[in-house]
């Protein structure tokens, strides 16, 4: 069959694409053989494309054209395409064997839900997915270690054991998420792009350089706090020391007891908030408290003092027991950790949610009704020093939040708007990471997760119409979607 | 629709009830309650599926109806009626009854929080139950809501009838809409009055709805009281003339 090259290629492609449903495999392979006769063309591209089309054939008959081409090429040893034919044959063998086993795991139901997921899973090597992934659970992955999360896990939910939740996040999750954890009896976080980006940066940090600051920003309800939780879980698994301030806004508003600071007369103490933070810090970093030793002597009052070289746990205990000294204990802990992280005994992660509270205004007043500026609060003052990048041996991950903020407009979400000039200059330079609404794939995955847990009980919510309406009403905003699905 | 009420302007005599509103469009007479639409106005069709049917699939009647609607007068759809798939007329009516002072936003949010509270309580029960009990636990807040209100509807009611200078409570069969109204009214009144100051409405409402779903609780008791009173006044039933 002598025919022009381009024409043959297009004709064979169209024929083979259209005919598989009508012909059996035998007939297809015969057709392919006829077309790959040596007089027609010496084109590698055609053979490769034919190989690609023969993929779905579940038998080794698809190898026949290549064996034929291979034999033909042996008679024409001058051709350089021999090695490529070998490679193609080898790849063909491995891919057909994998596909024969992999094709059985896919079923039409999965393709209906997955949409864009299906071609990706066919194209990407199948052994990256965890081996015990059930084929129907498109929204979950069984990869529990955040260090191994990669782009193939994007949009999928992974499970955090409840024991880890209690140690890592004692009273420091967003209220709606903790309600969801309680209702479903499981804590599942979605793996999303901003968190993956952050994890990539954290894996490649150079601990000899000063601490890098990462700022997660975005509109309300897009998932900044939960991305921070994902990063904290990763660092906990990697054995970092975690300094987590769940909501800095709580320190600048509605404080019942403001005492003048014992350490510095101009500043104010907040015993309640400081003692709560110390308790949570102790729960999270139990094992570091005995390892780290203080490097100075601290005198609390006439009778109590902490000697040099005693473990950090003693300072924390002192703060919890003597609530009056709690703020100073927090200051001591922060100073010690900052000084000792450079020595390399541990890696420090400073995670602050709502960092724009540190540079805004407060709603607190003294007894003489004069307003308190944030720098007059000892806790805020010490935290500001922590967030400065003059130390090394760790990283600083921050989140901006308008939700709990005071005197900030509702629509403000950019770093410049929320931090103000003072805050921006203090945090400059930082790496901003935008957290946006769900992509279509993530939205599908979220809906699938709710359907699996039977959270969407309304009968119309299972239909396509219902999903379209949910997408329209929530605009793919994760917070809004969660609120909508709660009463449906 | 009920007969429109008419307020007479000064100097004009009040016309008898039951006169069609068309004849009342005189200057000086203002309509106070009731629909302003004449009988030729048809209700709007908000169902999306009705319009999505391709022309080929319509029967002769439907085609005729479509053509007719093109020339008829159609009432304006009220703002609360949507073509959403999640819309429920019973829930809308209940939300309107919860509403105070026109604050629909608050009423809707209370309704949403109530449904969420019902769902979360049922999920808790579900997770705590064994495998056999799980099949009997209903987790859909909408079915619970509808069933609870249906359980609260009285079958027979009492109506005060004037005879010989005294009002007698006469047992009377109630219309469907009156029964639904009474069930909703009792539920809301019970939740508003008999709760502690610090308890929020969604929590109390969800508790009462779950109890009514299981045929227990104060609203069911009120329904039974109504039935008992009607049974007690059985002798006065002949005072009813309709």
What is the DSSP secondary-structure string of B6-65?
Answer: EEEPTTSPPPPTT--GGGG--TTEEEEES--S-TTPBPP---HHHHHS-GGG--HHHHHH
CB-closest option in B111, B127, B141 to A185: B127
CA B218 to chain centre: 20
ipTM above 0.90, yes or no: no
> Which of A472, A474, A487, A488 would best serve as a mutation to test chain B binding (most B beta carbons within 10 A)?
A487
**Measured between CA atoms, how close is B210 to chain A, in angstroms?**
16
Chain B residue numbers touching A454 (CB-CB < 8 A):
139
| Beta-bridge partner residues of A349 | A242, A395
pLDDT band at A262 (very low <50, low <70, confident <90, very high): confident
Cβ atoms of A212 and A205 closer than 8 Å: yes
Query: Which percentage of chain B shows pLDDT scores above 70?
Result: 89
C-beta of residue A263 within 8 angstroms of C-beta of residue A275: no
Query: How confident is the model at residue A486, as a pLDDT?
Result: 94
Residues of A in contact with B123 (CB under 8 A): 183-184
Q: What's residue B101's pLDDT?
A: 96
Scanning every residue of chain A, which has its alpha carbon at the shortest distance from the alpha carbon of B117?
A487
**Token pair belonging to B182:** 């009474």
Residues of A near B (CB-CB distance < 8 A)?
Answer: 179, 183-185, 454-455, 457-461, 463, 465-466, 469, 486-488
Q: How does pLDDT run across A4-31, given as a tens digit for each residue?
A: 455 555 555 555 555 555 555 555 555 5
Query: What does the pLDDT look like over A384-415, one tens digit per residue?
Result: 999 998 998 999 999 999 998 999 999 999 99
pLDDT at residue B187, as a whole number = 96
Cβ-based contacts of A459 with chain B (< 8 Å): 140
* CA–CA gap between residue A342 and residue A75 (Å, rounded): 69
Residues in chain B closer than 8 A to A452 (CB atoms): none
Chain B nearest C-alpha distance from A256 (Å): 21
CA distance B62 to B56: 11
pLDDT at A264: 81
The chain B residue lying nearest A456, using CA atoms, is B140
In whole angstroms, what is the distance from residue B237 CA to residue B144 CA?
Answer: 35
The Cα A187–Cα A144 span in angstroms is 12
For chain B of 242 residues, list the mean pLDDT of each consecutive stretch of 10. 50 46 64 84 90 82 88 92 92 96 96 97 94 93 96 95 94 95 96 94 96 96 96 93 90
Distance from CA of B115 to the nearest CA of A (A): 5
Residue to test with chain B: of A456, A457, A458, A484, most B Cβ within 10 A? A457
Per cent of chain A over pLDDT 70 is 72
Nearest to B139 among A457, A463, A486 (CB): A457
**What's the pLDDT at A138?**
78
B241 to chain A, any CB pair closer than 8 A? The answer is: no
With tokens 């902490």, the residue in question is A306
Judge contact between B122 and B139, C-beta under 8 A: yes
- Hey, are the CB atoms on B85 and A469 less than 8 Å from each other? yes
**Alpha carbons within 13 A on the beta-carbon side of A23:** 16
Count CB pairs under 8 A between chains A and B.
Answer: 38
Which of these, A117, A96, A95, A97, lies nearest to A106 by C-alpha position? A117
Least CB–CB distance from A487: residue in B115, B123, B124: B115
B83 interfaces chain A, CB cutoff of 8 Å: no
Mean pLDDT, chain B, integer = 88
Residue found by looking up tokens 């302007």 in the block: B9
The encoded tokens of residue A1 equal 């069959």
d(CA A11, CA A101): 31
The answer to whether the CB atoms of B116 and A457 lie below 8 A apart is no
Other Cβ atoms closer than 10 A to A22: 8
Burial class (CB in 10 A: 0-12, 13-18, 19+), A39: exposed
Write down the pLDDT at residue A2.
47
Grouping H, G, I as helix, E, B as strand and the rest as coil, residue B157 is strand
Beta bridge pairs of residue A396: A213, A350
> In a mutagenesis test of the A interface, which of B83, B85, B91 is the best target, namely the one with the most A β-carbons within 10 Å?
B85
Name the residue among A454, A465, A487 with its Cβ closest to that of B85.
A465
């Amino acid at each position: 069959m002598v025919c022009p090259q381009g024409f043959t290629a297009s004709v064979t492609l169209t024929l083979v694409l259209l005919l598989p449903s009508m012909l059996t495999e035998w007939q297809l392979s015969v057709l392919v053989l006829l077309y790959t006769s040596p007089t027609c063309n010496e084109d590698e591209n055609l053979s490769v494309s034919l190989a690609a089309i023969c993929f779905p054939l579940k038998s080794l008959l698809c190898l026949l054209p290549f064996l034929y081409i291979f034999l033909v090429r042996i008679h024409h040893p001058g051709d350089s395409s021999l090695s490529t034919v070998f490679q193609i044959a080898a790849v063909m063998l491995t891919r057909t064997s994998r596909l024969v086993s992999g094709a059985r795991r896919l079923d039409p139901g999965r393709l209906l839900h997955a949409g864009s997921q299906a071609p990706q899973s066919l194209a990407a090597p199948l052994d990256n997915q965890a081996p015990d992934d059930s084929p129907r659970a498109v929204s979950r992955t069984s990869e529990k270690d955040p260090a191994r999360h990669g782009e193939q896990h994007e949009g999928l939910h992974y499970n955090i054991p409840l024991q880890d939740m209690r140690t890592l996040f004692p009273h420091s999750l967003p209220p709606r998420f903790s309600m969801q954890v309680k209702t479903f009896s499981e804590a599942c976080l979605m793996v999303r792009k901003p968190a993956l980006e952050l994890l990539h940066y954290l894996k490649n940090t150079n601990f000899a350089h000063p601490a890098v600051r990462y700022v997660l920003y975005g509109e309300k309800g897009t998932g900044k706090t939960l991305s921070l939780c994902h990063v904290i879980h990763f660092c906990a698994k990697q054995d970092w020391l975690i300094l987590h301030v769940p909501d800095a806004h709580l320190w600048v508003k509605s404080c019942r007891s403001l005492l003048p600071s014992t350490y510095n007369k101009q500043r104010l103490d907040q015993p309640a908030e400081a003692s709560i933070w110390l308790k949570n810090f102790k729960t999270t970093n139990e094992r570091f408290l005995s390892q780290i030793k203080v490097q100075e002597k601290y005198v609390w009052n006439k009778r109590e003092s902490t000697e040099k070289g005693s473990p950090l746990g003693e300072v924390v205990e002192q703060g919890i027991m003597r609530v009056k000294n709690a703020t100073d204990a927090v200051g001591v802990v922060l100073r010690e950790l900052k000084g000792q992280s450079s020595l390399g005994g541990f890696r420090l992660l400073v995670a602050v949610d709502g960092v724009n509270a540190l540079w805004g205004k407060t709603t607190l007043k003294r007894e003489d009704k004069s307003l308190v500026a944030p720098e007059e609060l000892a806790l805020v003052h010490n935290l500001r020093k922590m967030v400065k990048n003059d130390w090394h041996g760790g990283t600083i991950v921050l989140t901006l939040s308008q939700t709990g903020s005071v005197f900030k407009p509702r629509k403000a979400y950019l770093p410049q708007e929320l931090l103000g000039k003072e805050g921006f200059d203090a945090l400059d330079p930082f790496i901003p990471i935008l957290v946006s609404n769900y992509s279509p794939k993530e939205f599908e995955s979220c809906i699938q997760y709710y359907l699996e847990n039977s959270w969407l009980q309304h009968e119309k919510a299972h239909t396509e119409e219902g999903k379209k309406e949910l997408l329209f009403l929530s605009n793919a905003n994760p917070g809004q979607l969660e609120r909508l699905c709660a009463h449906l | 629709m009920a007969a429109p009420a008419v307020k007479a302007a000064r100097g004009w005599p009040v016309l008898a009830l039951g006169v069609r509103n068309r004849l009342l469009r005189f200057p000086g007479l203002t309509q106070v309650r009731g629909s302003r639409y004449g009988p030729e106005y048809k209700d709007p069709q908000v169902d999306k599926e009705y319009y999505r049917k391709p022309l080929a699939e319509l029967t002769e009647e439907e085609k005729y109806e479509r053509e007719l609607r093109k020339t008829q007068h159609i009432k304006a759809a009220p703002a609360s009626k949507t073509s959403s798939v999640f819309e429920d007329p019973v829930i809308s009516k209940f939300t309107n009854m919860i509403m105070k002072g026109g604050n629909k936003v608050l009423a809707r949010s209370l309704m949403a929080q109530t449904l969420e509270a019902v769902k979360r309580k049922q999920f808790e029960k579900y997770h705590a139950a064994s495998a056999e009990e799980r099949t009997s636990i209903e987790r859909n807040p909408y079915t619970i809501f509808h069933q609870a209100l249906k359980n609260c509807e009285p079958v027979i009611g009492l109506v005060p009838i004037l005879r010989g200078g005294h009002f007698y409570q006469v047992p009377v069969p109630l219309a469907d809409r009156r029964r639904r109204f009474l069930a909703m009214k009792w539920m809301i009144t019970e939740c508003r009055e008999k709760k502690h100051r610090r308890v929020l409405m969604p929590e109390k409402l969800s508790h009462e709805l779950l109890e009514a779903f299981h045929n227990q609780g104060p609203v069911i008791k009120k329904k039974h009281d109504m039935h008992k009173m009607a049974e007690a006044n059985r002798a006065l039933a002949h005072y009813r003339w309709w």
